[in-house]
Structure 1
Amino acid sequence: MRVVLSTYGSRGDVEPMVAFAVRLRERGAHVRVCAPPDEDFARRLEAVGVPLVPFGPSARALTTGAPPPTRSATSSAGEMVARRSVELADGQRAVLREAAEGCDALVATGVPAVVGGARSVAEKLGVPWIHVTFQQLTLPSPYRAPLAYPGQSYPPEVTDVPALWKLHDRHMNALFGEAINTNRAALGLPPVDDVASFLFGARNWLASDPVLDPWRGPADLDVVQTGAWFLPDDRPLPDDLRAFLDAGEPPVYVGFGSMPMKAATDLSRAVVEAVRAHGRRAVVMRGWADLSAVDGRDDCLVVGEVNHQALFPRVAAVVHHGGAGTTTTAARAGAPQVVVAQGADQPYWAGRVAGLGIGTVHDGPAPTAESLASALKAALAPGTAERAAAVAEEARTDGASLAAELLVERLG
C-alpha cells in the first residue's frame, strides 16, 4: 500500500502528518510526505525515516519575509494571497503528480490552494483522496461563523450565520479560484465553480481532540473526528534546561512558535517582566519571533526547539499563540494556558481554552508587560490548574493510530 501525504504551512501543518506517516508505516504502508522545503521539516521527517518530497518556497521565509517586490502600494492583502496561491499551486503540481503516480491514496491538508491542488491530482490519477483539517472552522456548519482568511472581511452588521457562510464562499472563490482552476486546466480537468464545496464537500477528517474541539456540523457533511495526531516524544530535554527546571519552582513557559510577532525586542522584555511580576522564572522559546533574554539574570532561560511533551508538565503555565498543536499539547499536559492569539484559527483555540476553564485569553495580539501579567494572574490561580489537570485526563492520545486504521480499512 502506497500513501502520499500533502501539506503546506507552518510546523503545525507538518507535525501531525509526521505522526500519521509513522502510524501508517507501522501498518505496512509506504509513505511519502510532500511539504515545504524548510530544513527543520526535512530533519523531522528524516528522524522518523519518512521521505520528504519538497515543493514551493520555504514556509518560514514566506511567513516572516517582506512582501514580494511586485506588490504595489495599492495591492490588497487579498490580491497578494491570490497571487501567492497561484505560485504555490504551480510549484506543487508537477511534484505532487509525480510523487502520487501509482499510489493508493492521497491525504491532504494545508492552505486551500494546496489542498485544491492535491484533490485535482487525485482526480487526475483516479486515486482516493481525503481532506484533513486540524480544527473545525474550515468545515461548513450552521452553528458557528466561518474562519476569515487573509484578505477577507465580513461586514460587522452581518451576524446571521448562513449569510456569513455565503460571503465566505464568495471570498473563497475570489482568493483561491484562480489557483485551483489554473492548476486543473494544466492537468486537463474542467474548472470548478464553487471552491468551498470542491475542498470540503467530500471525505473530511477532523484531526482534533473531541474534548477541546467537539464537532458540531450538518449531518449531511462527511466528517470523521479522529482525535489529534501526535507521536510520543521521548527526546530528552537539554541538560541546561533540565538543570534550570530542577533549580527552583516550576517556571512559566513563553513561546510563539511559527509566529513572527513584530517588535521582538520589546516583546522579549514584556514577556520576561510579566513573568517576573508574579515572582516566577521564565523559559522562553526563541521561535520565529526570535525572542531573547533581556539581561543576564539567572531567572530566565532561552531555548530553541525542545520536547514540549516533556517540558509542559513541568511548568506553571504555558503562554503561546494558540496554534492547534501547542494548545493540545499543553492541554494534554495539564498546564494552564495564556493564549496570545495572532489570527487564523488562534482566536478560536483561545476561546476554547477560556471556555473549558483551563486558561485565559490575552486581550489583543501585542502583549505589554502589564497586560500579560494581568492574563497570567488568572492562569496561575489554583482553580485553573485543577481544571487543567481534570481536562488532561479526558484528552485522547490515539488520534493518529485511529486515522491509520481507518485508512487501512478503507483501502481493504
Structure 2
Amino acid sequence: MRVVLSTYGGRGSVEPMVGLAVRLRELGAEVRVCAPPDEEFVDLFAGIGVSPVPVGRPVRPMVASVEPGSTVGLAQRAAELIAAQFGTVAATAEGCDALVATGPLPVTAGARSVAEKLGIRYVHASHQPVILPSPHQPPPARRGRPLPPGVKDNRELWELDARNANEMFGAEINTHRAAIGLPPVHHVRDYAFTARPWLATDPVLSPWPDSSGLDVVQTGAWTRPDDRPLPPGLVKFLDAGAPPVYVGFGSTPMGADIAKNTARVAVEAIRAQNRRVILAHGWAGLDLIDDGDDCFAVGEVNQQALFAGVAAVVHHGSAGTTTMAARTGAPQVVVPQGADQPYWAGRVVDLGIGVAHDGPTPTVASLLACLETALTAETRARARAVAATIDTDGATTAARRLLAEIDPNGRSLPA
C-alpha cells in the first residue's frame, strides 16, 4: 500500500510525520512525503531514508519575517499553499491509497480535495486539540480576525470561526476544485477536518472530552524513534556535575534583542538556584551570555536522551516539547509565547508536573519563582509518576489503524 503525508508548518507539524512515516514503512507501506523545503526538515526525513517533495516556501525565514498579528502577505501565502496541494501534492498522491494531512487550513482543505478527486482515503491529523471545535473551549483567533470580547458562548465562537474560514479560504479552494471538476464546499473548516479527525496527542497529557460532539480518534502522540548519541562535549558537561536545567524555545522565533534578554534572564535565574544551564539555540537563537563553565549551548540533539538527564525543562510549551519532557519525567517550566502553548502550560499545571509562567516575557524574579516550585522533590516525584502513564508509541497505533482502514482484511499487516 502507498500513503502520502502532506504537512506544512514548524517542527511541531513536521516531526510527528517523521514518526508516522517510520511506523508505516515498518508495517510494509510505501510512504511519500510532501513537506516544506527547510534544510532541517529535509535532514529529518533523510535520517529515515525518505526524500520529501518540497512544498511551499521555507518556513523558518518566513515566520521570522512576519510581524506578530500581521496579515500582510497572508492571502498570497494561503493561495500558494492551496495551489501546492492541487498541484505538487496531487501529483505525488497519484497511485496512493491514502493521504494524511496536517497543518493550516489551506493545506488540509486542499489535501482533502485532492483525496476526493483521486478517490482515496483521507485523514486529517491534528497534533494539538485547540483547533478542533468543542463546546468546552473557544477557537483560537485567526490572524487578523480577533474573537469578539463580548461573546462568551463557545458554540457561537466556533460558528464565527467557521464563517471566518469560509471568507478567508473558501473562494480560493473552490476555484481550484472547480478546475478539476469538483463541486464547491460550503463549510471549508469542517470539510478539512472531516466528521472524524485524528488527534495525535497523548490522552493523559491531552484528554479529549467525550461530550465534545466531535467523533475524534485519539491515537497518542506521534514521536519519531531517536537513538542518536548525545555529542561528546554535551556528555562531558552532563557528567561534570549535578543535572542542569534545559532552556529552549523550539521553533518559536524571537528578535535578537528578545533572545539575548531571554537567555540572560534564564541563566541568571538558574544560577540563583545553584544550577548549571543548557541553552538550546532553536529558532529563537538563544546563546551563551558569557564564558562561564556552568553553561553549555546546543543545537539539534536527541531530546529523548537529553531530557532524561536534566533537572528541569524550561520551554515555550509546544506539543512536542511538552510531550517529550513528560515522557522522560522531567519537571517543566512553561513560558508560553502563543498559539496552543497556553493550553499545554495549563495541562502541565493541572497534572502537577511543572509550572506555567504568567506571560511570555520572564524576569529573573518571575522565572526564579517558577523554578523554585519545579525543582522541588514533590514536583519531580509527580513528573516521574505521570511519565509512567504516557503512551510511548502513538505513531504505531495510528499506522496500524490507517492501514487497517485501507485494507480491512489486514492482509498487508505483519503479525
Once the two structures are TM-superposed, the CA of residue 45 in structure 1 deviates from its matched residue by 0.6
User: With structure 1 as the length reference, what TM-score do the two structures score?
Assistant: 0.94
Alignment equivalent of 1:127, drawn from 108, 116, 120: 120
| 1:25 counterpart letter in structure 2 | R
1:237 is paired with a residue whose SS is coil
2:198 is paired with a residue whose SS is strand
Aligned runs of 1:21-32 on 2, under 5 Å?
A: 21-32=21-32
| 1:379 counterpart letter in structure 2 | A
Partner of 2:3: 3
CA contact (8 A) 1:201 1:222 kept: no
Once the two structures are TM-superposed, the CA of residue 232 in structure 1 deviates from its matched residue by 2.7
Once the two structures are TM-superposed, the CA of residue 217 in structure 1 deviates from its matched residue by 4.7
Matches of 2:333 and 2:226 in 1, distance apart?
23
Matches of 2:273 and 2:183 in 1, distance apart?
60
Matches of 2:221 and 2:171 in 1, distance apart?
32
Give per-residue Cα distances to partners, 1:358-387, cap 9 Å, x unaligned.
111111112222222222222112211111
Partner of 1:196: 189
CA contact (8 A) 1:283 1:302 kept: yes
Matches of 1:38 and 1:186 in 2, distance apart?
30
Aligned runs of 1:384-403 on 2, under 5 Å?
A: 384-403=379-398
| 1:158 counterpart letter in structure 2 | V
Once the two structures are TM-superposed, the CA of residue 154 in structure 1 deviates from its matched residue by 1.5
Once the two structures are TM-superposed, the CA of residue 165 in structure 1 deviates from its matched residue by 1.3
Once the two structures are TM-superposed, the CA of residue 313 in structure 1 deviates from its matched residue by 1.1
CA contact (8 A) 1:79 1:175 kept: no
Give per-residue Cα distances to partners, 1:14-73, cap 9 Å, x unaligned.
111111111111111100110000111111111101231111000111111256xxxxxx
- 2:391 is aligned with 1:358: no
Partner of 2:372: 377
Which 5+ residue runs of structure 1 have no aligned equivalent?
A: 68-74
1:149 is paired with a residue whose SS is coil
- 2:257 is aligned with 1:274: no
Identity of aligned residues (%): 58
Alignment equivalent of 2:295, drawn from 300, 306, 314: 300
Matches of 1:51 and 1:77 in 2, distance apart?
33
User: With structure 2 as the length reference, what TM-score do the two structures score?
Assistant: 0.94
Once the two structures are TM-superposed, the CA of residue 148 in structure 1 deviates from its matched residue by 2.3
Matches of 2:311 and 2:171 in 1, distance apart?
47
Between stretches 231-240 and 320-329, larger displacement belongs to 231-240
2:74 is paired with a residue whose SS is helix
Give per-residue Cα distances to partners, 1:185-210, cap 9 Å, x unaligned.
34332222212211223331111000
Alignment equivalent of 2:338, drawn from 334, 340, 343: 343
Matches of 2:143 and 2:354 in 1, distance apart?
27
CA contact (8 A) 2:134 2:213 kept: no
- 2:57 is aligned with 1:64: no
| 1:252 counterpart letter in structure 2 | V
Alignment equivalent of 2:235, drawn from 224, 242, 249: 242
Alignment equivalent of 1:160, drawn from 153, 160, 181: 153
CA contact (8 A) 1:79 1:151 kept: no
Give per-residue Cα distances to partners, 1:196-230, cap 9 Å, x unaligned.
21122333111100000011155753321110011
Alignment equivalent of 1:142, drawn from 116, 135, 144: 135
Between stretches 365-374 and 15-24, larger displacement belongs to 365-374
Partner of 1:264: 259
CA contact (8 A) 1:204 1:223 kept: yes
Distance verdict in 2 for CA 1:162–1:349, change over 3 Å: same
CA contact (8 A) 1:142 1:217 kept: no
Matches of 1:220 and 1:128 in 2, distance apart?
23
Distance verdict in 2 for CA 1:178–1:370, change over 3 Å: farther
Matches of 2:213 and 2:263 in 1, distance apart?
48
Distance verdict in 2 for CA 1:182–1:366, change over 3 Å: farther
Partner of 2:215: 222
CA RMSD of aligned residues (A): 1.7
Which 5+ residue runs of structure 2 have no aligned equivalent?
A: 408-415
Distance verdict in 2 for CA 1:178–1:266, change over 3 Å: farther
Partner of 2:246: 253
CA contact (8 A) 1:35 1:52 kept: yes
CA contact (8 A) 1:106 1:128 kept: yes
Matches of 2:349 and 2:126 in 1, distance apart?
22
1:372 is paired with a residue whose SS is helix
| 1:161 counterpart letter in structure 2 | N
Between stretches 79-88 and 189-198, larger displacement belongs to 79-88
Alignment equivalent of 2:314, drawn from 315, 319, 322: 319
Partner of 1:71: none
Once the two structures are TM-superposed, the CA of residue 257 in structure 1 deviates from its matched residue by 0.6
Once the two structures are TM-superposed, the CA of residue 251 in structure 1 deviates from its matched residue by 0.4
| 1:21 counterpart letter in structure 2 | A
Distance verdict in 2 for CA 1:278–1:143, change over 3 Å: same
Matches of 2:260 and 2:129 in 1, distance apart?
34
2:130 is paired with a residue whose SS is helix
CA contact (8 A) 2:336 2:342 kept: yes
- 2:34 is aligned with 1:41: no
CA contact (8 A) 1:56 1:92 kept: no
Instruction: Tell me which stretches of 4 or more aligned residues in structure 1 moved more than 4 Å.
Output: 217-220
Partner of 2:91: 98
Matches of 2:312 and 2:47 in 1, distance apart?
29
